[in-house]
Amino acid sequence: MSSTTAADPRSFKTFAEFYPFYLSEHSNRICRRLHFIGSTLALVCLGMLIATGRPQYGLYALVCGYAFAWVGHFVFEKNKPATFKRPVYSFIGDWFMYRDIWLGRIPF
């Protein structure tokens, strides 16, 4: 087990320190794919919220984003999401990983 995997997410002082840990918690390809799908659906829901003004799409965005990610962690990655200990850094990490998958920096 690497030192980043054994680290307590609360120990990181900056997001730059946290992000390698975040990526180590997403080593399973299916988990990353579920994150990507959930994030994409969340963006679609946010688009629907803007297009229709119907607030339930905001709730749908949260459900899509978190449900897919948590299935990935609990079923495939076999770990607890960092959201529980570092919610802001974890949220930012989701979008950095999403971007990095689109850019081909992280295998999909």
- Please report, in tens digits, the pLDDT of each residue of the chain (108 residues total): 344 446 888 899 999 999 999 999 999 999 999 999 999 999 999 999 999 999 999 999 999 999 999 999 999 999 998 888 899 999 999 999 999 999 999 999
Q: Report long-range pairs for 94-99 (Cβ below 8 Å, ≥24 apart).
A: 94/35, 94/39, 94/65, 94/69, 95/39, 96/19, 96/22, 97/22, 97/23, 97/26, 97/32, 97/35, 98/35, 98/36, 98/39
Rounded to two decimals, the pTM is 0.89
